A and B are shown apart, each in its own frame.
Chain A
């Protein structure tokens, strides 16, 4: 069995274990209803995390995700108040996300500045732009919002896949396709695995990096659209510290922060683990949100140490 699947398997096992633990603690937990709710509530995080997965696979990082979500939300709300159809604004904002991401990728490669710093500036720029658009929450009133909210796919049992979850699954499918069935996706893994070798093998590093951050911008913007429609409002503080949750979801999903190893599919499970933890803690009335943060930290620690020793045992310089 391929060793590279180990982190993903660990993730899925943890997810199942948590689900089963929940089932043993609470009646009605092991149901598609709970599953469907977790998916719906966390769709936007997972979508953003999918974009972050590409960036992290290439060995970079994107801190501007959360701010993009906020910015997209407030723009959608404002344009809605001017009579635009939400789908039209969604299209515009997604284009913006792609361009903004591409710009970040270009600055990172052309000026040789660390991704951390460039996307940090991006975080500030977008968050500031949020406040310039509006200081308060603005509702989205278009009829489309209701139509969107009532769209759902029934699951066996009492569960339902809501529209956010459907969008997320479609986005995931697209990401899996890009990552594993296109030249670009292979290049992403190559750049993250060993940038120098990739360059020597003929990969255009500049084009790949710009593409990666543009893709991340696409997904962040999409996450912003989903969030705005889900909350039917645009809120300038939306998405604060979300980049953190996204990165945690990626790591919990089995992707190494050093790049080159990991799968987009894992991010789905990573995000659901985060959602499960929240749900478990909320179900348990006596624990509170502090435990969500602490258990996320403990899980992260476990995964990071696991990854660290996987990598050193990976010693991918052959057996000598």
Chain B
């Protein structure tokens, strides 16, 4: 390849002409990806802010409603997502040291864990659907007192607010997971075509940044949605 590629100066084929060298190109891509991630922080930040305002207005209602969420699903999904972040980090490491086989293996593992997360989430949404806990879409908003939740009838209206936050926040997070699996598919195809080497792995690196960001969002969603009611002595 090098003999047919007679350029004015020697440089790697992946180096774009407007960059001085591979380091500068890599740093620019990383910075650009972080700028995108900052807009994502603002996007989710708005929802976290609104959640905080409403929770401070209806602390007891939110705590009581949180008991309708299943922390086992949430904890399992946290564990799955953290493992997927580990395999993603190892995929990036493999790309950096130029180990193509390991890169492909870790990408596949990351996708498997990502899909596992979505499947668990699907079961969880189904449970809420059967339980009639989907605002606007449930057959009837069943919120009368029962043995397990003896004080919930008084919170029927506020409970819908928390469930709206729940579906919007976890829903947007799940959409980001879907996009992430799509990105990983693309990166895997690129890796199989032999596009990456120890000199050039920028797409792997910045896709990893995206994947880890989605993990961070979940790190905050888990305690804020699933675990706020367990310890409170509810009136």
Query: Is A bound to B?
Result: no
